Structure 1
Amino acid sequence: MSDRLTQLQICLDQLIQQFNATINYVNTNSEPSLLDEDEPNSYSNMAANAPVPQAQQQQQAQQQQAPAQAQQSQQQSPAAQAQQSQGQSNSGGSKNAATPVQEEANFDNTVNELSTDLILKSRQINMLIDSLPGIGVSPEDQLSMIYELSADLKLVEEERIAKIKEKDALLKVLERLIADVATGISDTRM
C-alpha cells in the first residue's frame, strides 16, 4: 500500500479523468442550446448554432439506420426472424431505436451517475487530506513525534542487526554439521 500523498495524487488524477469523461459525455450527447437567451445573435450563441460535430453526425446516422434495419427484419421470413431474435436474446437483447424521451431519461440518469461519481471522489480526496499529518498539530508536537519514530527506528535497526548476527552464527553451525556429516559418510565408505 502506498503512502497518503501518493494515494492523494492518484485520487486527483482519477478526479481529473472523471471530469474529462463527464465533460466529454455531456459535450457529445447533449442537445445544443442557446447560451444567452436574451440576445439570440450574440457571440456566445455561435457555438450553439455551429454545425454538428462529425462524431455526433455519425451517431445520429447510426440511430437512423436502426429503424431501417428493423423494417428489413420485418420483411424477412419467419424462420430468419426467429433465428435473429434468438441471436439477439443470446447477445443481451435487441437494439431498438430509443425514443427521444428515453434518450433524455438515459442522458439524465448517466449525468446523475457521473456527478455522483465526482462527488464521491471529491469526498475521498477530502478524507485523505484530513488524514494527512500536520493539520491541527503544532510544530512542536510534530517534532516530538519525529523523535519518537526515530528512537523506534533505532531499536528496530538494532534488533535487525542482532538477528543478522544470529543468522550468521546459525549458518556457521550448519556448515560445520554438514561438513561433519560429509566426513562421517566418507569415512564409513573407506
Structure 2
Amino acid sequence: MADRLTQLQEAMDQLLKQFIASYHYIERHHDLEKFGPNDKIPDLKPEQPKEVETVEPEKFKAAQLELARDLVTTEQQIEYLISSLPGLDNSERDQIQMIRDLEEEIATAEQQRLEAVKEKDEVLKKLDSLINMIRRYK
C-alpha cells in the first residue's frame, strides 16, 4: 500500500508542478491586450527587460491545449491510483476479516518456523553426538 501512496504523492507533486509551469507559461506569453478603455500598455525602454514575451496566437493556443491535456492526463493517473487503493471497495467488516485472515496466516507461518527451529536443534544435537563419538574412536 505504501508504494501506491508514494505513487499518489509523486503524481500530486507532478500535478502541482504542471499547474505552476502552465501558469508561468501563460503569464509570460499572453497577448498584451487592454481590458478597459482606461488601460494602458506601457512603453518599454530599450534597456528595460520585457515582462511578457508574446507569441503567435496559434502557437499560444496550441501550447495551452497541450498544457491542458497534460494536466488532464496527470489528473486521470491520480484518479486511477486513488481507485486502486485498498479499502475503497471493501467495507469495514471485509477489511477486519482480511486482517484476521492475515493474522491466521502469520500464526501458521510462525508455528512452522518454530517447528523448523526445533528440528534444526535436534539435528544439531545428533550431529554433535556423532562428532563426539568419532573423536572417541580416534
Does the alignment reach a TM-score above 0.5? Answer: yes
Tell me if the contact between 1:34 and 1:40 (Cα under 8 Å) persists in the aligned partners. no
Matched, 1:176 2:118: no
**1:58-85 deviations in Å (ceiling 9; x for gaps):** xx8xxxxxxxxxxxxxxxxxxxxxxxxx
Larger % of helix: which? 1
**1:134-157 deviations in Å (ceiling 9; x for gaps):** 4xx6xxx72321331132023112
Query: How far 1:108 moved relative to its partner?
Result: 4.9
Coordinate RMSD, CA, aligned: 3.7
Query: How far 1:10 moved relative to its partner?
Result: 2.8
Query: How far 1:119 moved relative to its partner?
Result: 0.8
TM-score normalized by structure 2? 0.66
User: Residue 92 of structure 2 corresponds to which residue in structure 1?
Assistant: 143
User: Residue 41 of structure 1 corresponds to which residue in structure 2?
Assistant: 38
Aligned AA (1:34) = E
Aligned residue-pair number: 133
User: Residue 91 of structure 1 corresponds to which residue in structure 2?
Assistant: none
- Aligned-residue sequence identity (percent) comes to 25
Tell me if the contact between 1:15 and 1:121 (Cα under 8 Å) persists in the aligned partners. yes
What CA distance in whole angstroms lies between the structure 2 residues aligned with 1:110 and 1:185?
Answer: 85
SS at match of 1:33: coil
Question: Please, which runs of 5 or more residues in structure 2 have no aligned partner?
Answer: none
User: Residue 19 of structure 2 corresponds to which residue in structure 1?
Assistant: 19
TM-score normalized by structure 1? 0.52
User: Residue 115 of structure 1 corresponds to which residue in structure 2?
Assistant: 68
Aligned AA (1:41) = N
Q: 1:186 to 1:24 in 2, by over 3 A?
A: farther
**Large movers: runs of 4+ above 6 Å:** none
